[in-house]
Amino acid sequence: MASNKKEKNNISEVLSELDRVIHSPARLMIMTYLYIVEAGDAVYLMNQTGLSWGNLSTHLSKLEEAGYVSINKTFINKKPKTVIELTDSGRKAFIEYKSKMKEFIGLTD
Amino acid sequence: MDKHETLSKMERKLFSNNFQDGFIDLLFSAVFLQTALIVFISRLTEDNFWLYLSMSAVSLIFIGGAFLVRKYITAPRIGYIRFLRKRRKTTVAFLILDILVLAAGLAISFKIINITSIINPGIYTILPIAAIILVLFTLAALAFNILRLHIYGWIAAAAFPFGKWLDTLTGSRYALPLLLLTVSILMLGISLIILILFVRRNPSREEDKYGE
């Protein structure tokens, strides 16, 4: 009984420690697709996540506010491109989020 | 561990999908078409360096076309992706290895096969050429993680001894070059079908509007 209560507390604790910025499905997709590459543009993210320009823009703004992504306007082949990449803190946050989720799944299994 | 493997697989699939637009297929088809044309021309006429060189121009036109299609049609649809340093290093290593095999292969070929024997090669002189082509395609297949290139490699490599056998069987000097031309045109056709399907499945995105 006591062990059950302790486990429940642990589950709540782990859940409360989950990063709310990453936890949204759309932002989690964006973070995942940025994590597996060095950088990508908006077309790449739209293709992979299925999000519209508007949705993508909104979620990227939130991730940028949290300091997880950097958005840079640059020229590639003489064409303007918006290149998005995870910052160091974004990579750390994603790894941390993964380990918290693993911990949560481990506790609930 | 599982999560990491899944992410690795995702990255691998993403990299492979980046070349599912027929670009690599077109490049390799063009190189093979050039080989087929040189063998064909060599059987039609006397040794003619300038004619062989003009065959290279045909292949260069296809290669240039493939790059233009990639730049203006398919790349904007795929989007810009800068892969992780490890992936870029692996790909470059495979491509360097591919070029080294090609160079070594050519050197070995010229040592054991002179130009006269290319015009009418024996079955044992044709086997090294087939082996080089197979290695080239296999390395490219591993570099870009495209299964099709393995299949192209086996078909292209098998075409040499099979064509030679047809030469002997039919008594015609055109069986081998015609078979090589057929295989290369088949590869070009498949590349174009892949390209058309890719363009149809991936609608054109207007220029990156994010932040405007």
Question: What tens digit of pLDDT does each residue of A29-81 get?
Answer: 999 999 999 999 999 999 999 998 899 999 999 999 999 999 998 877 677 78
- CA atoms lying within 13 Å on the CB side of residue B191: 27
A40 vs B7, B79, B207: nearest CB: B79
pLDDT class for B39, splitting at 50, 70, 90? confident
**Are the C-beta atoms of B158 and B182 separated by less than 8 Å?**
no
In chain B, the residue whose alpha carbon lies closest to the alpha carbon of A36 is B11
Question: What tens digit of pLDDT does each residue of B109-163 get?
Answer: 666 555 555 555 566 677 878 888 899 899 889 888 889 999 999 999 999 889 8
Q: What is the pLDDT of residue A14?
A: 79
Residue with tokens 């056709």: B189
* Residues in A lying within 8 Å of B, measured between beta carbons: 32-33, 35-48, 53, 56-57, 60, 71, 73, 76-77, 79-83, 85, 98, 102
Task: Specify burial of residue B169 (Cβ count, 10 A radius: 0-12, 13-18, 19+).
Answer: exposed
Gap between the Cα atoms of B208 and A91, Å rounded: 25
| Chain centre to alpha carbon of residue B90 | 19
Backbone angles phi, psi at A86, to 5 degrees: -75, 140
Backbone angles phi, psi at B81, to 5 degrees: -130, 125
Four-point Cα dihedral B179, B198, B210, B6, nearest 10: -90
Q: What is the pLDDT of residue A75?
A: 79
- CA atoms lying within 13 Å on the CB side of residue A54: 0
In chain B, the residue whose alpha carbon lies closest to the alpha carbon of A39 is B82
Average pLDDT over residues B60-75: 90
Radius of gyration of chain B (CA): 20
Q: Considering only residues 139 to 178 of chain B, which have any Cβ-Cβ distance to chain A shorter than 8 Å?
A: none
Radius of gyration of chain A (CA): 17
